[in-house]
Structure 1
Amino acid sequence: MNREQAITEAFVSLTDTVADDVDPLTLLRRLVDHCVELTDMDAAGVMLANARGRLQSAAVTEERVEITEMFQAQTDEGPCIDAYNSGEAVHADDLTAHEDRWPVFTPLALAAGYSAAHSFPLRLRGQNIGALNLLARTSTALTAEDAGLLEALAATATTAVLTWSGEPLREYDIVTRTQAALSSKVVLDIAVGMLAAAAATTPGDAGRRLRAYAAAHHQRPTDVADALVRRRLTPQAVLAPAP
């Protein structure tokens, strides 16, 4: 598959809001995966604003990204925070040059193995609802072409996530729907923790196995997570090899 085909398929997957096994978190997961696959960046994450306007992690490609996002939210500093607050893209091709700007985030990101960070605001109808975070293990600048692609992917995913239910979107629904997505992420994290404990594996592996089970049974990952947390589904059933 060439790059043009890959880009086309990425946009198609981000607008798929009618499939039975798609939910807002699935769309955000696709967004971060596409961002890494289509650019030179090594990892990506999405943070959404909760009802109090504080950013929370909603989707990541690897666990270390979520750690960096958590510290950005706790310290109110970092590229995601700046992109969300300003509504403008934030670029740090070499994080070592930004230690004065982000004295807490920069050492943490470097310790996690990231040397570059780029963040884009997620906006809908003039309202900032979160930020897309891209990280690289080596100092990496984004080309104008890649920056434009990432902005377009982020805009497409944002619209899809907030209109996923198919109902008309009113201004006050934006916070309600972002909060619903974050609440689903909490349930998903609990379910992943249950699977990780049952299988004595990592959260990353447990998340992949939960998504694989959901795909094999044509269910939404969030519905599988809810069934696990409510004890309507056992961890062993999810972890069992597919027939």
Structure 2
Amino acid sequence: MIAMARERRLAEIFVEVADSLVEDFDVIDLLHRLSARCVELLDVSAAGILLVDAHGELQIIAASDEHTRLLELLALQHDQGPCVECYRTGAARTNIDLTRTEVTAAWPRFATQARETGYVSTHAIPLRLRNRVVGALNLFQSTPHRLGDDDIALAQALADVATIAVLQQRTLEQSHVENSQLQNALTSRILIEQVKGVLAERWNTSVDDAFTAFRSYARARHLRLSDLAAQIIEGGFDTRTIPAPPRAS
């Protein structure tokens, strides 16, 4: 029964993604949703998607939550961590035991912070389409259970969907278009990070709650997150029209 429910949910998610891949879709929102779906389907604690920038360094593009510690951990991987190796080789790194120093000796800062954040294992799945790799999906677990072959295959399928969302297959061979799409996604993420900070300070709330309220407002009005963020940063949008998140009791 549990397996059937999971298969049904998986089918729903892929339909949801397919419905989102229309012209001028909001890639940032889609990748955030995919990160959250990884947590839901794979029984992991957190997930993040990293894309390579024009300088060949991995940058955060989406995460299953916006907790500072998770974002800091993902950000570390622009110079060390399993995602760097995953991106460079195009091969998945799975069931990495973060509690074993001999396993994580190549990434001392990453491994130390991961353990301090409460994670005991991690996985890095390449974002690839055919022989092209544009980033990596990072999964974290706070409990010591291995992901089986079926779970790894599902993680790769979700990573492949994320890749298609970024590149849009019809433009894959046009490198100038691809580079533009990747850079636009990374630029959009920076704008959204700025807006989250502005709203969190204005409402005196957490960045997580500020981002949730911002996303809910944008999705309810069919606005792209990056467009709304740009309007806010440029001062052309009154943020008082966005309902503030409820106060924690």
Note if 1:14 corresponds to 2:17. Answer: yes
Identity %: 37
Listed one character per residue, the Cα deviations across residues 11-66 of structure 1 (whole Å, up to 9, x for unaligned) are 1222222277x411112112111111001211000000000110000001122321
Aligned counterparts, 1:20-39, within 5 A = 22-39=25-42
- Tell me which of 102, 105, 111 is aligned to 1:106: 111
**What residue is the counterpart of 2:179 in the other structure?**
175
Note if 1:94 corresponds to 2:111. Answer: no
Q: Write the letter of the residue equivalent to 2:85.
A: D
CA contact (8 A) 2:36 2:47 kept: yes
Structure 1 stretches of 4+ with a deviation exceeding 3 A read: 166-169
**What residue is the counterpart of 2:83 in the other structure?**
80
My pick for the range that moved more, 201-210 or 97-106, is: 97-106
**What residue is the counterpart of 1:70 in the other structure?**
75
**TM-align CA RMSD:** 2.1
**What is the TM-score when the length of structure 2 is the normalising length?**
0.89
* Deviation at residue 163 of structure 1 after TM alignment: 1.5
Note if 1:200 corresponds to 2:204. Answer: yes
Listed one character per residue, the Cα deviations across residues 133-167 of structure 1 (whole Å, up to 9, x for unaligned) are 00011223111101001101111221122229x76
Report the 3-state secondary structure (helix = DSSP H, G, I; strand = E; otherwise coil) of the residue aligned with 2:50.
strand
Gaps of 5+ in 2: none
Note if 1:149 corresponds to 2:145. Answer: no
Listed one character per residue, the Cα deviations across residues 90-117 of structure 1 (whole Å, up to 9, x for unaligned) are 1244211223232121111001111110
Q: Write the letter of the residue equivalent to 1:193.
A: G
CA contact (8 A) 1:163 1:169 kept: no
* Deviation at residue 173 of structure 1 after TM alignment: 2.2
**What residue is the counterpart of 2:195 in the other structure?**
191
- Tell me which of 43, 47, 50 is aligned to 1:44: 47
**What residue is the counterpart of 2:227 in the other structure?**
223
**What residue is the counterpart of 2:137 in the other structure?**
132
Larger RCO, structures 1/2 (Cα 8 Å, 6+ apart): 1
CA contact (8 A) 1:48 1:130 kept: yes
My pick for the range that moved more, 58-67 or 108-117, is: 58-67
| Alpha-carbon distance in 2 for matches of 1:188, 1:2 | 34
Report the 3-state secondary structure (helix = DSSP H, G, I; strand = E; otherwise coil) of the residue aligned with 1:139.
coil
